[in-house]
Amino acid sequence: MSETLGFIGLGNMGEPIAANLLQAGYTLRVYNRTASKAAQLAAKGATVVPRPEDVAVAGGIVLTMLADDQAIEGVCLPAGSFVERLGSGGVHVSISTIAPASARRLAEHHAKYKVAYVATPVFGRPEAAAAKRLWICTSGDATARKRVMPILAAIGQGTFEFGDDPGAANVVKLCGNFMIASAIEALAEALTLAEKNGVNKKDVAELFGKTLFACPVYQGYGKQISEEKFLPAGFRLALGLKDISLALQTAASSSVPMPLASLLRDRWMTAVAKGRADMDWTAVALGVAEDAGLKPVAANTNEGK
């Protein structure tokens, strides 16, 4: 590939996604708030720039993988941003999980500069990103979506399109993360029930992961919860709380009751209040165990040290 892409945000997900784009032959200009995190990509041929706006090439494509609405607005909205530098014909590919309403506002802002906004939130943890096994949801301008399809093919195993509404892909992403959080809570409760009654929870997780719930979410998270391996975080618990809160916010704006999501928000909020924000979001299982009078293995949580 001869096209130069801009990339902003080189965290647990952004770095392996950017590395796969380099491997696919794209030329990358990258920015990360903590510059040292770009060192590995620089060694692979990426150009590291000092400011987020410097990643943009006029009429080109910039991808962002940032933590939340505030972070993405912080690089898109200021005067002289990369959006302005992209200008007419430019495309912004937003991989972040943000509120659908935020995506729509960003699309309106981009249109002032004749830049297309394409939402492309992904399902998959860092190991899936590294292996190009992400599942991608996309929505936004149809012409821009078509243009970025080869890029998405270089980082994922499949892309599902949800039309021209720039917020639609984020609605789908929030639906998915709500269901994953529900599965984590169900696993935590079931495995705690087994453990409290003298049954090996690792064996229980293996049984259900191979039979009734033979799918990646139950298999991966069931193993993680049963082994109490919550560090390092593949997906930070604080980000899980953010996504559940966004799902409830979107539900409220469209008059959709979600009582289970309210329960999940309280569980995740309690975990954050207990200092677990930077642990994997499966660490909410610690709260389930504590409610049952069980004590977690401190060696796997950094707690009690």
pLDDT score, position 301: 61
Joined tokens for residue 130: 């590294």
Phi (first) and psi of residue 99, to 5 degrees: -65, 140
Catalytic residue among 114, 132, 146, 173: 173
* CATH superfamily of this structure's domain 4-164: NAD(P)-binding Rossmann-like Domain (3.40.50.720)
Note the pLDDT tens digit of each residue in 64-103. 999 999 999 999 999 999 999 999 999 999 999 999 999 9
The answer on pLDDT for 305 being more than 50 is no
pLDDT score, position 37: 85
Note the pLDDT tens digit of each residue in 29-55. 999 998 888 888 999 999 999 999 999
* Mean pLDDT, rounded, for 214-226: 97
Domain-wise residue ranges, the chain:
4-164, 171-300
Of 305 and 301, the one with more pLDDT: 301
> Does the annotation count 173 as an active-site position?
yes
* Average predicted confidence (pLDDT) for the chain: 95
* Mean pLDDT, rounded, for 102-120: 98
pLDDT score, position 230: 97
The answer on pLDDT for 56 being more than 60 is yes
pLDDT score, position 130: 97
| Calculated CA dihedral for residues 186, 187, 192, 193, nearest 10 degrees | 60
Chosen CATH of 171-300 out of 1.10.10.10, 3.40.50.880, 3.40.50.300, 1.10.1040.10: 1.10.1040.10
pLDDT score, position 296: 74
Listed in sequence order, the DSSP H helices in the chain are 14-23, 39-43, 69-76, 82-86, 100-111, 126-130, 142-153, 168-196, 201-210, 216-226, 237-253, 259-273, 284-291
The answer on pLDDT for 274 being more than 80 is yes
Partnered with residue 140 across adjacent β-strands are 118
pLDDT score, position 255: 98
Note the pLDDT tens digit of each residue in 124-176. 999 999 999 999 999 999 999 999 999 999 999 999 999 999 999 999 999 99
